[in-house]
Structure 1
Amino acid sequence: MSEIDIPESHPRYESLLTRHRIEAGVEKGITSKQGLIAQGRGEAFDYLLGEETTPSAKRAERAAAAQLLLAEKPVLSVNGNVAALVPGEMVELADATDADIEVNLFNRTRKRMVAIADHLQEHGATEVKGLAADARIPGLDHERAKVDEDGIYAADVVLVPLEDGDRAQALAEMGTSEIVIDLNPRSRSTQHATVPIVDNIIRAIPNITEHARELADSGHEQLEQCLKEFDAADALDNAEQTIRQGDLS
């Protein structure tokens, strides 16, 4: 079954669509097989969130847009699942916030890195960082430590969707502000984020882009106020309570 074969009237349309995209990503060589497991784990959390963007997530997505617009050097980090699920949407967000895009993988091979970069360029990206890997994030002993010196290493704000918790922690220890998209409010990634977004990435990225376009003409003080009004601890607590009280009926 292809995306074209899935009728939008199907009650599991969005779920089937994301599963298809992850499967196609594996076949194309951009997503690892472990990504299939990660997608299933996230989907379980999304069930309990009602498969919709909660009010607290909406506030987080607006704060994320403000933080990206305030950044001097924002970077959007992309792994295999992100590339499979929202390649065009990531490019649109980069355009809306004047951010760089950088590929960063745990299961890193040159072939996968090039495949993801090519895939993003097929969806409109003009430049994709990550292949140089001429710097390392301190405190990490695996492939995610490899970053571009003029990319993630130099960034003041990094969007790290579907992230490994140890890199999120290491970036925080570098003093980098992080926007994390993760459906688990208790993950290390969300716990270390300046702006944690507990939402499905297929909803979150377009929402952040929409807010960024709305806020594009805002002054520095207005953006700072938008970020100041956001409380990360409250956002995580609200998400956890929603999940704990999730209704599967």
Structure 2
Amino acid sequence: MSELDVPESHPRYQSLLTRHRIAEGVDRGITSRQGLIAEGRGEAFDYLLGERTIPSADDAARAAAALLRLADRPVISVNGNVAALVPGETVDLAAAVDADVEVNLFDRTDERMRAIVAHFRDHGADEAGVAVRGVDADARIPGLDHERAKVDADGIGSADVVVVPLEDGDRAAALAAMGTSEVVIDLNPLSRSAQVATVPIVDNVIRAVPTVADHARDLSGASRAELKRLVREFDAEAALAAAEDAIRSGRLE
């Protein structure tokens, strides 16, 4: 099946398209087989959210854009699922906020690392002036004993704001312990990732990444005082509570 084989009029178009991209990512050596399980878990939460961006998630995306615009060294951390689902959109966001992209994998191999880096370059990273990091891995995140501890010293290792798409609880907690501000995109409002985030966005990554990019462009002329106000007034606990209520209530639109 190619993406063209799924008509956009199909009521499950986005879900089918997402499944196809993840499966294709596995075939290409970009996504791990475990990524299929993670995608299925996320799809269940998205279904309960009504497969839409709820108002609190849009507010979070705007706060995230403001935080990224304030950052001195922003980095977007990506794994195989993100590479399969939103490669071009991630490059677009990185270009909008002058961020680097860094590949960070739990199931890390040199082959997968090179494949994912090449994938982002194929989706316009070089043309957009976006650096794709992760191969050097010359630093470590303290407190982690697995492959996700490996980071670039000039990337996540020295970032002041890191975007963490998709659930990644222990690393998100370790980054928070380092004093790094985090934008977390996670469909589960009860996950450790979302709970420790400076700005948790409870939304599907295929909607959240372009939404943050749109807000970043909209805020391109905002003063630092205005950007700081948006970050300061964002209530992470309230955003998570609103998402949990949307999931538990079952009020689908």
TM-score tier after normalising by the smaller chain length: over 0.9
Counterpart Cα distance in 2 of 1:57 and 1:244: 16
Are the equivalent residues in 1 in contact too, given 2:167–2:191 (CA < 8 A)? no
Counterpart Cα distance in 2 of 1:140 and 1:118: 27
Offset from partner CA, 1:154-212 (integer Å, 9 cap, x none): 00000000132000000000000000000000000000000000000000001000000
Say whether 1:145 aligns with 2:145: no
Residue number in structure 2 paired with 1:207: 211
Q: State the TM-score, normalizing by the size of structure 2.
A: 0.97
Aligned residue among 179, 200, 223 for 1:196: 200
Amino acid paired to 1:130? G
Amino acid paired to 1:57? A
Give 3-state SS (helix, strand or coil) of 2:132's partner: coil
Say whether 1:234 aligns with 2:238: yes
Counterpart Cα distance in 2 of 1:76 and 1:238: 25
1:247 Cα deviation from its structure 2 partner:
4.1
Give 3-state SS (helix, strand or coil) of 2:133's partner: coil
Runs of 4+ more than 2 Å apart = none
Residue number in structure 1 paired with 2:173: 169
Offset from partner CA, 1:93-112 (integer Å, 9 cap, x none): 00000000000000000000
Counterpart Cα distance in 1 of 2:193 and 2:160: 17
Counterpart Cα distance in 2 of 1:248 and 1:132: 45
Residue number in structure 2 paired with 1:7: 7
Gaps of 5+ in 1: none
Counterpart Cα distance in 2 of 1:102 and 1:24: 21
Counterpart Cα distance in 2 of 1:105 and 1:163: 12
Amino acid paired to 2:27? E
Residue number in structure 2 paired with 1:56: 56
Residue number in structure 2 paired with 1:70: 70
Offset from partner CA, 1:59-108 (integer Å, 9 cap, x none): 00000000000000000000000000000000000000000000000000
Give 3-state SS (helix, strand or coil) of 1:76's partner: strand
Residue number in structure 2 paired with 1:116: 116
Offset from partner CA, 1:200-228 (integer Å, 9 cap, x none): 00000010000000001111000001111
Gaps of 5+ in 2: none
Q: State the TM-score, normalizing by the size of structure 1.
A: 0.99
Residue number in structure 2 paired with 1:160: 164
Give 3-state SS (helix, strand or coil) of 2:90's partner: helix
Identity of aligned residues (%): 69
1:2 Cα deviation from its structure 2 partner:
1.1
Residue number in structure 1 paired with 2:106: 106
1:248 Cα deviation from its structure 2 partner:
6.4
Amino acid paired to 2:143? G
Counterpart Cα distance in 2 of 1:26 and 1:10: 24
Counterpart Cα distance in 2 of 1:193 and 1:215: 21
